[in-house]
Amino acid sequence: TTQDIIFVTCTAPVNIAVVKYWGKRDEDLILPINSSLSVTLHQDQLKSTTTVACSARFKEDRIWLNGKEENINQPRLQSCLREIRRLVRKRRSNRDPGADVLSLSHKVHICSENNFPTAAGLASSAAGYACLVYTLSRLLSVEGELSTIARQGSGSACRSMYGGFVQWHMGMRADGKDSVAEQVEPESHWPELRVLVLVVSAERKPVGSTAGMQTSVDTSSLLKHRAEAVVPGRMDEMIQAIRKRDFSTFGELTMKDSNQFHATCLDTYPPIFYLNDVSRRVIGLVHRYNRHYRETRVAYTFDAGPNAVIYTLQPYVSEFVQVVKHFFPPETNGEELFYQVIKLCCERS
């Protein structure tokens, strides 16, 4: 019967960083070497949907990703389950009667789906872990600093726990309790801001972010310089630009930060290449477009993959999309550039 199964379904959107996280100081707790800042997309765009069911009849925890059963014993998944159950125990020891509804010994079945390519550098793990932690917290009725739990699934996931403009404070503590996400401004703060995702390739990335950033920490002196001497000031400038809705500063900082992140990848030994020829042509196109208008109207950013994410303002979207279509006619050759207009605010599709 369904009566002895309780389940909850939630969705969480991806976030796209404008000041990138790259490099950990603690691998187990996932503590970063620098703070970062991102924009969380709309719920109805790129997102994960997760259902978690709980029953006394389940014999073990299990997980299905995009319909395929995966290994539940992955350490990061186990960290999230352990931390959530720790919160349940804490609540129970506070004699909260609600905690008795579900036994701690109950096992969970997790079913998670993304509506976009997994592991193509489109922040799938961020949405996935944010969604998992949030769904578990609803099912088990726990509250607390959930971003520190999502962080232990995938670093960037902590930023998807909030909407709008979100910073992840690197924190100073060894136990990670101050390495939390915080909303800088809600998405309603900047209604004209738009995000376009230009899907250059939906293939899995050759070097995952975990392995990539560790090699960078071990070998790149540029990364150390970036974390210590560049990011702190850039975080302040970025927050100011967002507060003032100053697109030209926001866009310029976003592009410089993406470029510096990819420069640290090149400075890694052996080097890591996430951008491809199409990515570089998109970069060139954006600069030519801005130069034409003598102002920064569009900005690109790239994560651990070749897909471009474009930030722009509503009045420029249709023209820029036309320009992209002109230079990258869709479905013409092997390296075609699919495009998808992702609207960040207000205009829900």
How do 62-65 and 107-114 pair as beta strands? parallel
The owner of tokens 């070497």 is: 33
With binding defined as CB under 6 A, does residue 155 bind ligand PMV? yes
Given 148, 154, 258, 312, the residue binding ligand PMV (CB under 6 A): 154
Least distance (Å) from ligand PMV to the CB of residue 118?
A: 12
Least distance (Å) from ligand PMV to the CB of residue 95?
A: 37
- Which residue, 21 or 247, has its beta carbon nearer to ligand PMV? 21
Least distance (Å) from ligand PMV to the CB of residue 21?
A: 3
Sequence-distant (≥ 6) Cβ neighbours of residue 198 within 8 angstroms:
282, 307, 308, 309, 310, 324, 328, 337, 338, 339, 340
With binding defined as CB under 6 A, does residue 114 bind ligand PMV? no
- Which residue, 247 or 274, has its beta carbon nearer to ligand PMV? 274
Least distance (Å) from ligand PMV to the CB of residue 208?
A: 8
Give the Cα separation of 184 and 203 in Å (integer): 33
Interface stretch with ligand PMV, choices 4-12, 45-53, 150-158, 181-189 (CB under 6 A) = 150-158
Q: How many helices (H) and strands (E) does the chain have?
A: 9, 15
- Which residue, 251 or 305, has its beta carbon nearer to ligand PMV? 305
In this structure, which amino acid lies at residue 220? S
With binding defined as CB under 6 A, does residue 21 bind ligand PMV? yes
Given 156, 201, 216, 258, the residue binding ligand PMV (CB under 6 A): 156
With binding defined as CB under 6 A, does residue 257 bind ligand PMV? no
With binding defined as CB under 6 A, does residue 260 bind ligand PMV? no
**Binding residues among 281-340 for ligand PMV as defined by CB under 6 A:** 303-304
Interface stretch with ligand PMV, choices 98-106, 151-159, 196-204, 285-293 (CB under 6 A) = 151-159
Q: Are 76 and 152 in contact (CB under 8 A)?
A: yes
Least distance (Å) from ligand PMV to the CB of residue 49?
A: 19
With binding defined as CB under 6 A, does residue 179 bind ligand PMV? no
With binding defined as CB under 6 A, does residue 205 bind ligand PMV? no
Q: Are 336 and 199 in contact (CB under 8 A)?
A: no
**The two three-digit tokens of residue 63, written as one number:** 């997980």
Binding residues for ligand PMV, rule CB under 6 A, total 15
Edge-first strand listing for the sheet containing 338-342? 298-301, 308-313, 193-199, 338-342
* Closest to 168 (Cα-Cα) out of 17, 13, 14: 17
**Count, residues in the chain:** 349
Interface stretch with ligand PMV, choices 18-26, 69-77, 188-196, 325-333 (CB under 6 A) = 18-26
With binding defined as CB under 6 A, does residue 17 bind ligand PMV? yes
List the beta bridge partners of residue 38: 17, 166
Least distance (Å) from ligand PMV to the CB of residue 169?
A: 13
E strand segments, the chain: 5-13, 15-19, 24-26, 31-32, 36-40, 47-55, 62-65, 68-70, 107-114, 164-168, 181-185, 193-199, 298-301, 308-313, 338-342
With binding defined as CB under 6 A, does residue 36 bind ligand PMV? yes
Least distance (Å) from ligand PMV to the CB of residue 304?
A: 4
**The two three-digit tokens of residue 142, written as one number:** 């726990």
With binding defined as CB under 6 A, does residue 20 bind ligand PMV? yes
The pair phi, psi for residue 230, each rounded to 5°, is: -110, -50
In this structure, how many other beta carbons lie within 10 angstroms of the beta carbon of residue 293? 11
Least distance (Å) from ligand PMV to the CB of residue 217?
A: 13
Q: Are 14 and 47 in contact (CB under 8 A)?
A: yes
With binding defined as CB under 6 A, does residue 125 bind ligand PMV? yes
Given 50, 112, 209, 220, the residue binding ligand PMV (CB under 6 A): 209
Per CB under 6 A, residues contacting ligand PMV are: 17, 20-22, 36, 123, 125-126, 154-156, 209-210, 303-304
